A and B are shown apart, each in its own frame.
Chain A
């Protein structure tokens, strides 16, 4: 599918992220510039430590770059205050972490509902959506279990449900299938693509699994912090 006619939903411009490690400065992201179109599925691939996750975190507003800008739907994330950025994330962006990052003291249901609570959404606004989500993700019977009582695949589904509950326009997924076996990985990917299609979302996924990346509309390659100007049409 060609998205070049669609509107740009995310624009990264000259993004640099550096860390200080003892006396050295490590450049995790080096002048990354790219655009993502509305409804597009972009996969970012690269070796471990190449800066993929850092770039994803910056794009999702979870981390701040040293310089450069990230613009989502015309709103520059890098110039927003902490509070404003949080609200923007809650309303427009969804994040799926590699290691699920579920709150261990909360049940699956409570974990899923964290974004609604943080954005003060009234119960009525998400009830129907929640039912559909848990049904699609096949976790309806595990909602009252703690994360420690769920399998890795189930935990990742809960994490996906949490990322999607506020109907975000852009979903960021950091190796969502990294901790799963092939069967579970395929199933989770299918679910993500299905919800992306149904909810007309943009999906940006970091992965080192080429078989997953190949299903993306476009692949970006990260190498030593640099994003290669690489485009692969399906």
Chain B
């Protein structure tokens, strides 16, 4: 069954498709598309024309390798995550709060009989029961289960099956179930990255396809003149692209495997090749090719054959008869070529834009890899402990510090200025970075700002912070014991916006009363501040800045640290510690975390309503050390940078080849090889200069834009990393971008020209040899 075209009836009238023919048309199109003859021709075509398709081979090889790198990292990460979860005594399910009577009933009803069955029949490999007491001395049981299936769904079903889903019991998932969440999140992230890589890949292949079709416009013009349409050209051009994709498929997988295996060897992670990724990778690349080729072929077949047949010359010579006649005046070749640069400005803009995009993506990759690395190496608390309403006993805080494996504890309390209808009065310099968020206080002439929070600084916290956790300019210890000195941080959402210096004074405005009831219609801080300034009375406390700190926090407010006495006066709170963050030593293994947690639980169980949040920081840190995302991101960035010269060489080879006639014409008019060489050096130099300048300026701007989006804008919306990362400009990355662009621009102009000169010489030599004979 062949592809069904509109057909002509006996009266030579064209019969077009109706709706009922749609499906048969679609089926026959698909069958026609997969015709073995066409597939064979496409493979032979791209192999024979390897040089023509070389840019496609390079691009698809690199892009598919990048795809594989993403998933090899994810599969290795999944395997390591599972290993970490299984490395200790972590279980799948923990059920707590079981009273003696309930436990006896459960045991007699389910577990006595279950013991006699095989693990697959009963649904678990083992379980343990622990007896424990609550702070109020209630005697309870805790059950831990090691299930035959790690999924959350299975745990849920298991609880119902064994009568463990009662309201009075509390349950939580153990490490062996929890790791699946990490894997799922990783899969989602890898999927999203693959999607964006796919978009980039489609854009690159589409650009290359555009260059190639532009180069072969005449040939396509002939095809279309003699009956070639969208379907026909898709069957030929489409299959050629698919052939390139399929021929590079295995080498790309092998290249990525080699690279990632090297990473694994260096980090000690397990290298995992998941065969299920093969069809996914295949579908990905076929989708990329399809998305890239369809619009190109459509655009091509929408043009009239006459237009395609007549577009085949890039000669600068034809740009202006006036300039052409003066070509051997003093303006040749510089003015002559400069006018050509202006004449083909659209082409050059496109070419330079491609370099800007590739180099920007590369430097963004460097930036993201660096940020990822900072993120992975940042010190995070492993446990966040809260007493509920009780005040933490200082001896208990010491006890946390004494647990083997605990590095230090951090504690404190914060209150947003807006919560207390309070604000700071700053001078212009101090508030210059947030001028759009502040309001001028007409009474004092100072700048009112409520983008801050008041934080408790105890002498103990100051001591911990001074161990090197914070960067401190000034004397933090004196702040913790003073009633008129504060310490401040300068950062809001990863930007150093405040200009505080030790020795500065600031005024804290404390809400006293309002002339009339104040209602805040909008949650906007600035609106609230304006409302307060216009209708409320305040008490003021003048304080001196004793220290400026970098506390590693990146929230939407900066911190004003104060002693317990001042904190109490400003916020009305006691300044007692109710929340503690526990940081563990880097040497602690996942398997040891459960033991530390047990010791913490023992201490915390003395407080009613306590809570312990396990952040999995140790597991995350160990996994990051083995499967850091930074090296693959870096690798993918280099692959993207390598696409730049590939695109340039294809485009320039095409462009220079279309100047053949012009060169012959110039030669006929007396231009020497030296003249022509000067012309192309000038052309290459002009392109190099323009591309380098554009790459350096636009690339830097775009890079900063990405930084701002990723590290400032997204965190301000609550999305993205909360680890502080200031904008850093990679000098070597910048130099590499400019160097690659410059080399690409110069060489892609000169290499095709030199090739042309060589081939012309060959012809001349043959001619001379024939004449001699």
Contact = CB atoms under 8 A, between A and B. Distances in A.
A84 B226 contact: no
Residue among B5, B14, B16, B230 with the highest chain A CB neighbour number at 10 A: B14
A118 B12 contact: no
A87 B309 CA distance: 18
Contacts of B225: 62, 89, 95, 101
Interface string B213-234: 0000011001111111111100
B535 interface: no
Contact of A82 (B16, B230, B306): B230
Contact of B226 (A64, A74, A89): A89
Interface string B3-25: 10110100111101000000000
Interface in B598-638: none
A101 B11 contact: no
A63 to B, nearest CB: 4
A53 to B, nearest CB: 9
A120 interface: yes
Interface in A113-137: 114-115, 117-120
Contact of B228 (A73, A74, A86): A86
B305 interface: yes
B226 A95 contact: yes
A87 B301 contact: no
B302 interface: yes
B353 interface: no
B32 interface: yes
Nearest to A163: B226
Chain A interface bracket (under 10, 10 to 19, 20 to 34, 35 or more): 20 to 34
Given A75-B13, A87-B6, A120-B3, A103 B227 contact: no
A103 B14 CA distance: 30
Given A63-B306, A120-B32, A120-B232, A91 B227 contact: yes
A62 B5 CA distance: 20
Interface string B522-547: 00000000000000000000000000
A162 interface: yes
A166 to B, nearest CB: 7
A118 B305 CA distance: 14
B32 A87 contact: no
Contacts of A64: 304
Contacts of A82: 229-230, 301-303
A87 B222 contact: no
Nearest to B305: A62
A186 to B, nearest CB: 27
A142 interface: no
A82 B16 CA distance: 14
Interface residues of B, number: 32
B2 interface: yes
Contacts of A162: 226
Contacts of A114: 222-223, 226
B45 to A, nearest CB: 11
Contacts of A118: 223, 226-229, 232
A90 interface: yes
Contacts of A87: 5-6, 227, 229
A97 B306 CA distance: 11
Contact of B227 (A63, A86, A97, A105): A86
A83 B227 contact: no
A130 to B, nearest CB: 15
B306 A75 contact: no
B30 to A, nearest CB: 14
A124 to B, nearest CB: 13
Contacts of A97: 309
B480 to A, nearest CB: 78
Contacts of B306: 57, 62-63
B12 A89 contact: no
Interface of B: 2-3, 5-6, 8, 11-14, 16, 32, 218-219, 222-232, 301-307, 309
| Shortest Cβ-Cβ A-B pairs, 6 listed | A90-B227, A86-B229, A115-B226, A73-B12, A83-B229, A118-B227
Given A74-B11, A114-B222, 9 more contacts: A63-B305, A63-B306, A64-B304, A75-B12, A82-B303, A89-B225, A101-B218, A117-B232, A118-B229
30 contacts: A62-B306, A63-B304, A63-B307, A73-B12, A75-B12, A75-B13, A80-B14, A82-B303, A86-B224, A86-B228, A86-B301, A88-B14, A89-B227, A90-B228, A91-B8, A91-B227, A101-B218, A103-B219, A103-B222, A114-B222, A114-B226, A115-B226, A118-B226, A118-B227, A118-B229, A119-B226, A119-B227, A120-B232, A162-B226, A166-B226
